Every structure is written in structure tokens, then in C-alpha cells.
Amino acid sequence: MKSTIPVLVALLLLFSCKTKKDQIDVRFEFVYKLDQATALYQQSKHQNAIYILEELLNHPNLSDNKREQASIYYDLACNYSLIGKKDQAVDYLEKSIQHGYANFKHLQIDSDLDLIREDEKFKKMVCKLKQEQSLWENNFMNTPYRENISETEKTAGLSKLWSEIKFNYINFDHVPEINIDSLYLAYLPKIKETGNTNEYYQVLQEFCVHLQDGHTEIQFPEELRNLHNGKVPIQTRLVENKVIITNIYDEALLAEGLKPGIEITHIDNLETRKYVEKYIQPYWTSNSKHGRNRTVFEYALLRGPVDKNVRITCKMDDGSPQTVELPRLKYIPMEWKPVSYKELEDNIGYVKINSFYADEIVVLFDSVFNHIQNNDALIIDLRENGGGNGRVGWTILGYFTDTPFQIFNWKSRLYRPIWRAWGRREETYEKTNQYRYADHKKYYSNPIVLLTRSRTASMAENFCMGFKIMKRGKIIGEPTAGTSGTPLIFSLPGGGKGQVVTTRSTFPDGTELIGKGVEPDIIVSPGIEDFKNGYDPILNKAITYLKNLN
């Protein structure tokens, strides 16, 4: 008798593949219908949205997903409220809370629920959520700004920052030299020595820098932001180990002889590197070396008090020094477009997406997509994109495939007090085999190149990961920042906030993103002479690559 083992193995593999495909198909049917319901809600077709949402309550994808159950119940409450059906709105809101919805702050201001706001059951639900959330956020810690908050408030704020990092920070293995308790004890006397609230928040930011994470930081109180967020009308970058000017946004500075490619040797009479070590590096960081260089030398280098000038000394082309006073402004006089498009030679399209911050980015991208569809090839430039909303990035990536596409894995710490009592190790919650769906009505199938560098960060990096996983085209340029994750934001005494990263992304095969970034397929870096000559070697490499495909 012939062995049946190979046949059984083949059948099992076929069944396994089919099962996985079926699961993906079910998931995408669910996501597609959910998006339909959202679109109907936005068009004020609330009864139609209700029909789809109630149908989804019986969808197999929802059977063990309390988060999505809570979201659908909440959406149903909103839609029923908007068509004047009070009882159904209250009942669905109650079910949403039972399945885990807890954002009582949003609940209090969501105009969709105005119909039921005076209902006693609604008031009780809000009150219960507020009591539960008061363990984490309350007015005892969230004290208002004063020029110098009390020592008690300062100590409490550091303690809260320390505890939120201790229980939520996901990347401790990247900073093995840091013991968070030892760091806390070292900073207790430092915060007591601060003479005002501004100094206090600077010390808190210095505390966060030890974690070397681009999503773990301090947000200064609004009253102090003008002391730190003043921007100068030039752009700088570390190139060939020199700090150079890369862009100028004020014609008066051009008249003084400043231009791209010129080195900045001194800042406020200090050598540039010494200035950086003293005033910038203690307060600014990121996860990778190239990401930190971007943060320090591009984003933070010349920031300071609004209306207080900063003096830079430059090494001119003939070698002579020239000192220039730069104004620090609240807003830089430059044109910034979140999405821009143009057509290059040989019918190559070029679209620059500078942010994924809001749904309007999808609208703006969609408005140029008809032009893109007529191009023989496309360059997508994410070199200045610092991230934003995942929904926005995945929606745009869905224009470039006609099949469901896999995205990154992520994990977060899973803390169970009883496990500590039992002596068990802490585990992590992991989300794997995540997929997004394509826009079948709008699909661009021609060759694509993606441009990246160290300023490509957060959700923009996730976009690059998805692009690379689907093998849609080449990535050209420099590695992305290597910093991504979902931050938990919390209040601090004196009107400011802290945030700590809670998730960590990897490629599906386990390849790390944090601290490394997405590696380009073709590495190209601009040099000082490129900036002097206005030459973009990354873009030109992309154009040459696409031309050679034909």
C-alpha cells in the first residue's frame, strides 16, 4: 500500500493556505463594510449606516474583538442619536462601554450625542467612566500653569512621569544601561533645584532623553512654548560631518551672502559642536544615530525664544567668516504643501507627501490621482514626511495594489499584577498578520520608486514597511528615522503633558524597525557640493532608475 503521508501533508498545507486566505477575505469584507458605514455617516445617511453597522454585529470577524465591538456600538449610538431615536442611542452607548469604551472626555463633547446628553442613564455612564479614569487623570495632578509651581507638584510630576515610563515603555532593551528607578532617584534633587516652571520642564525633558526614543518626551505648557519653539528662516543639516545650511526662506539673508552648502561654524559665539553638546543634545533625541542627527541638527539646532535673535558664524566660499543675526519667529515665511504633484521628463510622475496627519491628505492625494494614472512611472517622495495617522497612510498605499496587503507587526507590554505575585515573567501582547485592503476602483499598476531619508519617520516609516513588504518597487535614498509607535499622553502639574511610547513595530519576519529604520534598496546621500549646486542626487537616481526599466 502506498504511503498517504505526502498526500495528507499536501492536503493540510492546502487547507491551511485556504483557511488563511478565507480569514483575510472575511477581514477585508468586514473592513470594507465598516468604511461604507463611515462614508454614509459622513454623508448624513444615518439610517443606511445603521443598517450596515447592525449587520456587522453578526460578522464572524467581530466575534472575539471587543475593541471593534465597542467601536461599532458607539457608532450605532451616534447614528441613532442623530435620527432622534433616544432609547436605541442610550442602549448602544451602554453596550459600547460594556465592551471597553472609556473615553469619557470625548463622550462629553461629542455633538452626535447631544440628544441623550440630559438622559439620566447617560449622566451615570459618564460619571462612572470619569471615576474609573480618575485613577490615571485627575485635577490633583493636572494643576494649572504658574510661573513657579510648588516643590510638591514638581516631585509629583516627576513621579508620574517615572511611573508611566516604568509601566508602559516598550523599548527598555534598547537602553540596557538605564535603570529607571536609579534615574528617578538621580533626578529628584535636580527638580528640587529648579527655580521656575520652565526650568522644571526642561529637567523633565532631559529625563526623557535618557530613553533615546522619538515618541517619549515632554510637551511644555502652552504658556512656555514661545520660549522654545521660535524658528529661524533657514534649514540646516549635518552633511559630511559638517553643519551646513540647506535652505533659506528669507531673501534678506540671501542678500547677506548666505546660501545652501555654507558651513555654520559657531552659534552665539560657541563652536557649533560645543553649542550642540551644551544646549541641544541634553533635550533632544531619537531612536537611531541618524534619527538623532536629524532631530538635533535639523529640527532643534537653532530653536529658542520667539523674537530673540540667534547669531551664527558661517564659513564662506572664500574661507572667510561671516556673522549673521537670525530672527526667531513663531511662523516661518515659507510655502508648505502637504501634497504636491508635478510631471517630470519621460512622463514620470512625482508626488511629494509631507504628512499623513489628517484625512484631508487623502482628499488632496485623490485630487491628483487622475494625473498620476496617466504617468508611465511614479516617484513618491516621503523625505520630509514626519508621520501622522495610520488610516491615512494605509489608504494611500492601497492605491498602488489590487490585492490585500500585509503591514507591520506590533507589540505592547501586557502587565498582570497577579503574575508578579506568582513570580511569572511579564509578557507582551502581539498583533501579527495584519492586512489592509486595496482600493479596487483606483489602482496604479505602473512602476514606482519611493524616496526616503532620516526625516521620514513614524507613520511614514510604516508606509515604507508596507511598500517594501508588498514588493511594489524600489526605495531609494537614506534609511528612515527608525522611530515609530503609539504614544500614551498624560497630564503633568503646571499645565504640560508627558508622553511615552507603548508599541513597537517590526516587519512580519521579525526584522526590527526601531533604532534602525527602513533600509533603502539603493542608498544615495547628498553631499555638500550637491546643496551648493542645487542638485538632488536621490531624485535624479530615481529618474535614471525608472528610465532604465524600459
Question: Strand order in 487-491's β-sheet?
Answer: 217-219, 497-501, 487-491
5 has a pLDDT exceeding 80: no
Question: Residue 169, Cα to own-chain centre: how many angstroms?
Answer: 16
- Per-residue pLDDT, averaged over 285-302, amounts to 97
Residue 343 has pLDDT above 80, yes or no: yes
With a CB cutoff of 8 Å and minimum separation 6, the contacts of 273 are none
The mean pLDDT value for 463-491 works out to: 97
What element of type H or E holds 406?
A: strand 405-406
| Average pLDDT for 411-422 | 94
Give the pLDDT score at 386. 95
Q: Using the 8-state DSSP alphabet, how is residue 376 labeled?
A: S
Average pLDDT score over residue span 472-498: 97
Q: What is the pLDDT of residues 43-91, one digit of tens each?
A: 999 999 999 999 999 887 776 677 889 999 999 999 999 999 999 999 9
pLDDT tens-digit profile of 119-178? 999 999 999 898 888 888 888 889 999 999 999 999 999 999 999 999 999 999 999 999
- The total number of residues shown for the chain amounts to 550
Is the pLDDT assigned to residue 483 strictly greater than 60? yes
Q: What is the pLDDT of residue 28?
A: 73
> CA-CA distances (angstroms) from residue 233 to 224, 228, 295, 303, 309?
21, 15, 17, 11, 11
Q: How crowded is residue 31: how many other Cβ atoms within 10 Å of its Cβ?
A: 16
Q: What is the pLDDT of residue 134?
A: 85
The pLDDT of residue 434: 87
Tell me the average pLDDT across 507-523: 97
Domains by residue range for the chain, with CATH: 5-133 (1.25.40.10), 234-326 (2.30.42.10), 339-407+437-484+511-547 (3.90.226.10)
What would the pLDDT profile of 434-474 be if each residue is shown by its tens digit?
Answer: 888 887 778 999 999 999 999 999 999 999 999 999 999 99
Identity of the amino acid at 207: F
The pLDDT value recorded for residue 64 is 67
- Per residue in 367-403, pLDDT (tens digit) is 999 999 999 999 999 999 999 999 899 999 999 999 8
Calculate mean pLDDT across residues 210-215: 97
- pLDDT at position 7 is 47
Over residues 540-544, the mean pLDDT reads: 98
Percent of the chain with pLDDT over 70: 94
Q: How confident is the model at residue 15 (pLDDT cuts 50, 70, 90)?
A: very low
Distance CA 385, CA 35 (A): 26
Contact 501, 164 (CB under 8 A): no
Average pLDDT over residues 243-248: 97
Burial class (CB in 10 A: 0-12, 13-18, 19+), 46: buried
How does the average pLDDT of the chain come out, rounded? 92
Locate 485 and state its grid cell. 509607535
Residue 354: CB atoms within 10 Å: 20
Grade residue 194 by pLDDT with cuts at 50, 70 and 90. Answer: very high
Report the interhelical angle of 390-397 vs 360-373 (nearest 10°): 10
Q: How far apart are CA 165 and CA 157, in angstroms?
A: 12
pLDDT tens-digit series, residues 95-130: 999 999 988 888 889 999 999 999 999 999 999 898
Rg for the chain, CA atoms, rounded: 26
pLDDT of residue 376: 97
